[in-house]
Amino acid sequence: MKKISKAKIKEIAEKYDINTVYLFGSQAIGDIHENSDYDFAAQFSENIKENKYFDLKLKIMSDIMRLVKSDKVDLVILNEQKSPLALKYRIIKDGKVLFVDDDIKRSRMETRIMSFYFDRQAHLQSLGLASV
């Protein structure tokens, strides 16, 4: 994995009022190949309204592209309702935290995601739609 400056990630996070930044996917686990991209996830502070997420996401991705010197960057907004629950769960389960401003807010968000994920899995199992 190319070394990602946590100090630079902190600058980006503070610039955009981000509470937590994760790296996940191939770059996080060291399974890097020629076409590997950089998968990041961010938890905005509660001050940011959801109607601002898209514009902020583009700006953040641009800053990260300059940081990692690659245009192969993806960003998942963990606060965003339309982000898939299974992906959010995988991010908090397997991702690496690169920055956190308020650990209590991060923990609450992670607990909420895990709770929704496990409730959903239990419901799917009760319907016979999920494996054990």
Q: What is the pLDDT of residues 67-110, one digit of tens each?
A: 999 999 999 999 998 999 999 999 999 999 999 999 999 999 99
- Which residues neighbour 97 within 8 Å (Cβ) at sequence distance 6 or greater? 20, 21, 22, 106
Report the chain's mean pLDDT, rounded to a whole number: 92
% residues pLDDT > 70 (the chain): 96
Q: What is the pTM of this model?
A: 0.89
Does 132 have pLDDT greater than 50?
no
Tell me what percent of the chain is helix, strand and coil, each rounded to the nearest 5.
50, 20, 30
What are the residue ranges of helices labelled H in the chain?
6-15, 26-29, 53-68, 85-94, 103-126
The C-alpha atoms of residue 32 and residue 38 are separated, in whole angstroms, by 10
Domain 6-126 carries which CATH code?
3.30.460.10
> Mean pLDDT over residues 51-75, rounded?
96
- pLDDT in the model for residue 131: 56
